[in-house]
Structure 1
Amino acid sequence: MLSRKNRLLLFKLLSLFSVVRGYNILVITIAQYLASIYILSPKLPLREVVLDFNLFLIVTSSALVIASGYIINNFYDAEKDLINKPTKSMLDRLVSQRFKLTTYFILNLLAVFAASYISFRAVFFFSAYIFGIWLYSHKLKRIPFIGNLISASLAIAPFFVVFVYYQNFEQVIFVHGMFLTLLILAREMIKDLENMAGDLAQNYKTIPILYGPRFSKILIGLLVLLTLVPSLLLINFFDIGYMYIYFYGCIFLLGLFIVLLGKSKGKKHYVWLHNILKFVIVAGVFSILLIDVDLVLNRIL
């Protein structure tokens, strides 16, 4: 049996893991490596990509900055989350705001320190990334649509830095990026519908509060319909191996999403819609393996 002190420590660790969304960071880390192996550098030996120390530092810096971003976002949204996510907020509050801020600064310093081993440009990028996340959390997230667009851009940034590192400018990468950006932007706007109660209480000027849920749902529906463009382009004009199965599945799921969006009326429905988009995004990460099923085996051998 754990002592009371050890139980409290365990709960605090769980609280910190909840604040930094450790599960999201793990998925992003896996996505950066899979994108590097299958999309950005498909001709390089697997060992060379996986053991690339600079890539490891880029992924590590990204993870540290994202973790610190979740902390600062949690710090500014503490009051709003009490309304929107009461259960999660209770767990998050086991760690003091002072400790969260201290961890925030330490993580950012570690990220810049790791980036300094790569190049000055990497230091500049991650410093700008840190500042962008802070500015978004402090001010920009309150601006309708601009806040959503910036949030989606910040979510794409970890993949952008890997893309720049490999200097691969093939069209297929931009089409993949368009698909992911549209999905993330739609997800950000669904979150605004989901969090209306807290946003209204804290005077956030989001699209559903300013223009109503119906207008917001129309915009989300348009964004989801637009994902058909990159999906069909990737299926019909690019060599994506068996990943076409994923995109056909997306077309079906996103069609279902639009139907459910039209019928949605409350937070419970918006949470389900949010989870559908989250599933599509996470499934997309692991479906990268389908681009060439034999690729890893060939590169290992």
Structure 2
Amino acid sequence: MLSRKNKLLITKALSLFSVVRGYNILVIVIAQYLTSIYILAPQLPLGDVVFDPNLLMLVLASAVAIAGGYIINNFYDSEKDLINRPRKSMLDRLVSQRTKLSVYFVLNFMSVVFASYVSFRAVIFFSAYIFGIWLYSHKFKRITGLGNIIAAMLSVTPFFAVFIYYSNFDTVIFVHATFLFLLLWMREVVKDLENLKGDLTLNYKTVPVVFGENPAKGLITALCISTLIPIILLLTYYEVGYMDYYFYASGLALIGFLVVLWRSKRKLHYLILHGLLKGIIVLGVFSIVLINVDLILKRFL
């Protein structure tokens, strides 16, 4: 039997894991490695990529910086989350705000230390990234429309650390990144619809608060249609192997997404839409291996 003290420690650990959204960070770590193996450096032996200490340090720097970002975002949004996500908020509040800030500074310091192993340029990159996350949480998040764009950009930024490391700037990478950016931008606006009650109460100037639900749905629709551009480019001009099935499936899923979007009126509907977009993004991460099936056979069979 666990003692009361141990139970409290475990509960607080789970609370902190909830705040930093460890599951999201795990997906990002996997995405960075799969991108490195199958897109950025497919010519290198598997071991040279997986066991590259520089890549490991960049991934760790990204992971702890993102974790710190979730903490500072949780710190600024604590009142809003209490309205929009009361159950999760109660779990998150098991760890004091002071402790969260202490962990935030420790994680940021660790990110810079990990980056320093690679190069001074990496230190500058992650220092700017950490500052950008803080500036977004402190100021830009409340600016109509701009907050959504910056949030999507910050979500994509860790991948550029890996792109720069491998000095791979092929246009196909930016087309992939554009597709991901548009999905993330859509997700941010859907989250605003989902959190409309708390945003109205605390006067967050989001698109749904300032312009209304239908204009917000119109913006999401425009972004959804825009995803067709990178999808068509990837299917017609670039070699994506069997990942083309993912893009066909994503196109169909996004059509269904739009149908549900315009029929949505309740928070539950927006939660479903949010989950659908997250599913498309996560599935895209694991579909990267389909770009070169022969590479899979050579490396794992």
TM range (shorter): over 0.9
Letter in 1 for 2:128: A
| 1:180 aligned partner | 180
| 2:158 aligned partner | 158
Letter in 2 for 1:14: L
What is the Cα deviation at residue 56 of structure 1?
0.4
What is the Cα deviation at residue 232 of structure 1?
1.6
Which deviations, in whole Å up to 9, do the C-alpha atoms of 1:76-135 show, x marking residues without a partner? Answer: 000000000000001000101110000000000011011111111100010000100000
What is the Cα deviation at residue 297 of structure 1?
3.4
Letter in 2 for 1:75: F
| 1:231 aligned partner | 231
Q: How high is the sequence identity, in percent, across the aligned residues?
A: 63
Q: TM-score normalised to the size of structure 2?
A: 0.98
For 1:107-186, list aligned pairs within 5 A: 107-186=107-186
For 1:273-292, list aligned pairs within 5 A: 273-292=273-292
* Alpha-carbon separation, structure 1, partners of 2:190 and 2:299: 41
Pairwise CA RMSD of aligned residues? 1.0
SS in 1 for 2:293: coil
| Deviates most, 19-28 or 199-208 | 199-208
* Alpha-carbon separation, structure 1, partners of 2:294 and 2:7: 46
What is the Cα deviation at residue 47 of structure 1?
1.0
Which deviations, in whole Å up to 9, do the C-alpha atoms of 1:146-171 show, x marking residues without a partner? Answer: 11110001000111111111111212
| 1:210 aligned partner | 210
| 1:59 aligned partner | 59
* Alpha-carbon separation, structure 2, partners of 1:300 and 1:210: 52
What is the Cα deviation at residue 183 of structure 1?
0.3
* Alpha-carbon separation, structure 2, partners of 1:164 and 1:232: 26
Letter in 1 for 2:294: D
SS in 2 for 1:294: helix
Q: Does 1:268 align with 2:268?
A: yes
* Alpha-carbon separation, structure 2, partners of 1:138 and 1:77: 10
What is the Cα deviation at residue 300 of structure 1?
5.8
Q: Does 1:69 align with 2:63?
A: no
* Alpha-carbon separation, structure 1, partners of 2:104 and 2:92: 15
For 1:235-254, list aligned pairs within 5 A: 235-254=235-254
* Alpha-carbon separation, structure 2, partners of 1:293 and 1:5: 50
> Which sections of structure 2, spanning at least 5 residues, go unmatched?
none
SS in 2 for 1:292: helix
* Alpha-carbon separation, structure 2, partners of 1:9 and 1:300: 40
Q: Does 1:29 align with 2:47?
A: no
* Alpha-carbon separation, structure 1, partners of 2:74 and 2:227: 30
Letter in 2 for 1:102: S
Letter in 1 for 2:290: L
What is the Cα deviation at residue 203 of structure 1?
1.0
Letter in 2 for 1:266: R
* Alpha-carbon separation, structure 1, partners of 2:4 and 2:122: 44
What is the Cα deviation at residue 296 of structure 1?
3.2
* Alpha-carbon separation, structure 2, partners of 1:245 and 1:296: 17
Q: TM-score normalised to the size of structure 1?
A: 0.98
Q: Is the 8 A contact 1:46 1:300 kept in 2?
A: no
What is the Cα deviation at residue 36 of structure 1?
0.5
SS in 1 for 2:60: helix
| 1:42 aligned partner | 42
SS in 2 for 1:144: coil
Q: Does 1:95 align with 2:95?
A: yes
* Alpha-carbon separation, structure 2, partners of 1:269 and 1:193: 10
* Alpha-carbon separation, structure 2, partners of 1:225 and 1:177: 16
Letter in 2 for 1:113: V
* Alpha-carbon separation, structure 2, partners of 1:233 and 1:153: 21
